[in-house]
Amino acid sequence: MKQQASHGHLPLFPGELALLIAVFINSFGVVLMLYSGTGISAISSVPFAFSEVLPFFSLGTWTYLFQGLLVFTLMLLRHRFMPSYLFSFVVGFVFGQLLDLYELKINILPVSPGWSVVYFVISYLLICIGIALSNHCGLPIIPTDLFPRELAQITKISYSKIKISFDAACLFLTAAMTFFFLGHIEGLGIGTVLAALTMGKVIGGIGHWLERHFHFAVFQLPHSHKRQPFVS
pLDDT at 225: 44
Closest CA to 43 of 134, 108, 127, 111: 127
Q: Rounded to 5 degrees, what are φ and ψ at 215?
A: -110, 120
Say if pTM beats, i.e. exceeds, 0.85: no
Q: Where are the domains of the chain?
A: 26-217
Model pLDDT for residues 45-97, shown as the tens digit of each residue = 999 999 999 999 998 899 989 999 999 999 999 888 888 888 888 888 898 89
pLDDT at 122: 96
| Rounded Cα–Cα distance for residues 64 and 4 (Å) | 36
Cβ-Cβ contacts under 8 Å for 164 (sequence gap 6 or more):
196, 197, 199, 200, 201
Model pLDDT for residues 109-121, shown as the tens digit of each residue = 998 888 999 999 9
Model pLDDT for residues 139-163, shown as the tens digit of each residue = 878 888 889 989 999 999 988 889 8
pLDDT at 5: 43
- Residue 142 CB neighbours (<10 A): 28
The greatest distance separating any two alpha carbons of the chain, rounded to the nearest whole angstrom, comes to 60
Report the half-sphere exposure of 75 (CA within 13 A, side-chain side).
16
Measured CA to CA in angstroms, residue 115 lies from 17, 24, 112, 130 at distances of 30, 22, 5, 22
State the alpha helices, DSSP H only, in the chain: 2-5, 15-35, 45-53, 59-78, 83-105, 113-136, 143-155, 159-182, 190-213
CA angle 149, 216, 73 (to 5 degrees): 20
With residue 14 as reference, give the H or E element that holds it. strand 12-14
Model pLDDT for residues 194-228, shown as the tens digit of each residue = 887 888 889 989 999 999 999 998 875 444 444 44
